[in-house]
Amino acid sequence: MTILPIITLPDPVLRKKAIPVEQVDEALRRLADDMLATMYDAPGIGLAAPQVGISRRLVVLDAAGDEEAKQPLVLINPEILKLGPEKRVYEEGCLSIPDVKVEIERPSTLTVRFLDRDGKRQELAAEGLLATAIQHEVDHLDGRLIIDFLSRLKRDIIVRRFRKQIKPGNSD
């Protein structure tokens, strides 16, 4: 497995709506495995394909605690079917916006439909941290970032800070 470079703000691919995956094949499974390796290495609990520069509707997640066995999930073309009525606030970070944390209120439960790594249609009821992570990663697929939950002023300050970090002629 390969550790992929993670795209950071203000790269425009993070703002594009990702296109659906048309075929679940060996290349896509390899990409999912590389994304999982990248996510674990970062470390993070979720990673969307746009975060590695690929504008496709593919997400990998693992919300297992440190003391638990890994529980990797691959969601291809995820579609949130239902959001629960109760909300919870969670301080979210993002691998594409390092060192920024945003308190976000989201539904605490959801049901998501997706294709698994074998191309089979699945539905999953999620709660707590996993539900939050799924919503966060689906936001990535729609070009939405955690800073979009902030006021315009705070968002602009963060974007300016990341733009300053990019030096002319340096694509890293």
Dihedral sign for Cα atoms in the order 44, 142, 103, 64: negative
Q: Which fold has domain 12-165?
A: Peptide Deformylase (3.90.45)
Q: What is the pLDDT along the chain (172 residues), one digit of tens a residue?
A: 899 999 999 999 999 999 999 999 999 999 999 999 999 999 999 999 999 999 999 999 999 988 899 999 999 999 999 999 999 999 999 999 999 999 999 999 999 999 999 999 999 999 999 999 999 999 999 999 999 999 999 999 999 999 988 766 544 4
Phi and psi, residue 162, nearest 5°: -70, -35
The reported pLDDT for the residue numbered 48 is: 98
The β-bridge relationship of strands 46-48 and 101-107 is unpaired
The reported pLDDT for the residue numbered 168 is: 60
Active-site residues: which are they? Answer: 137
Give this prediction's pTM. Answer: 0.93
Domain ranges (residues) in the chain: 12-165
Dihedral sign for Cα atoms in the order 158, 50, 137, 39: negative
Q: How far apart are CA 65 and CA 96, in angstroms?
A: 22
Nearest to 7 by CA among 75, 97, 101: 97
The reported pLDDT for the residue numbered 157 is: 94
Q: How far apart are CA 102 and CA 66, in angstroms?
A: 22
The reported pLDDT for the residue numbered 170 is: 47
Q: How far apart are CA 65 and CA 130, in angstroms?
A: 11
